[in-house]
């Protein structure tokens, strides 16, 4: 695939994330998809991604991502996102606060045969937790 096609895949996936469309997102992940989270020592797979997405959507049902920067080369796409939403459900042991949150995430994707093969996520979770607890 071209860099342009990979960019289109990422943009469409952000739209699916904003719509809370789990199945659409899973549909563009390779069966052996690997997710690397900055907070975790070991990579995770599709099942962990699905559970994490459900957890986040329950806690922040109106969560939206806005693409601030996007760069693509060959099979890789990098983006900087600003995410915002309302804390309406339990998140990591923190009961719903009703607070509006905003934080930044830096994400990198490797695309293979039109599907996401790997994802690296480095989100500003310190800022997120500070907004929920202060």
Confidence of residue 111 (pLDDT cuts 50, 70, 90): very high
Angle (CA) 53-56-62 rounded to 5° is 110
pLDDT tens-digit map of 44-97: 999 999 999 999 999 999 999 999 999 999 999 999 999 999 999 999 999 999
pLDDT tens-digit map of 30-59: 999 999 999 899 999 999 999 999 999 999
Rounded to an integer, what distance in angstroms lies between the CA atom of residue 85 and that of residue 32?
30
Q: Where are the beta strands (DSSP E) in the chain?
A: 29-37, 64-73, 76-86, 100-112, 115-123
What is the mean predicted confidence (pLDDT) over 10-24?
A: 96
- Per the DSSP assignment, residues forming a β-bridge with 108 are 78, 120
pLDDT tens-digit map of 18-28: 999 999 999 99
pLDDT of res. 1:
72
59 close to 91: Cβ distance less than 8 angstroms: yes
pLDDT of res. 104:
98
Rounded to an integer, what distance in angstroms lies between the CA atom of residue 81 and that of residue 133?
22
In 3D space, the residue among 100, 106, 99 whose CA is nearest the CA of residue 124 turns out to be 106
pLDDT of res. 46:
94
């Amino acid at each position: 695939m071209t860099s342009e096609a990979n960019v289109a895949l990422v943009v469409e996936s952000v739209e699916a994330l904003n719509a809370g469309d789990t199945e659409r997102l899973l549909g563009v992940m390779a069966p052996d998809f690997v997710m690397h989270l900055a907070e975790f020592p070991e990579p995770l797979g599709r099942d962990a991604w699905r559970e994490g997405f459900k957890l986040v959507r329950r806690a922040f049902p109106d969560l939206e991502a806005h693409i601030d920067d996007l760069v693509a080369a060959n099979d890789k796409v990098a983006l900087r996102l600003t995410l915002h939403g309302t804390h309406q459900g339990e998140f990591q042991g923190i009961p719903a606060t009703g607070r509006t949150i905003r934080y930044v995430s830096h994400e990198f994707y490797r695309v293979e045969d039109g599907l996401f093969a790997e994802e690296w996520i480095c989100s500003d979770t310190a800022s997120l937790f500070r907004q929920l607890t202060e």
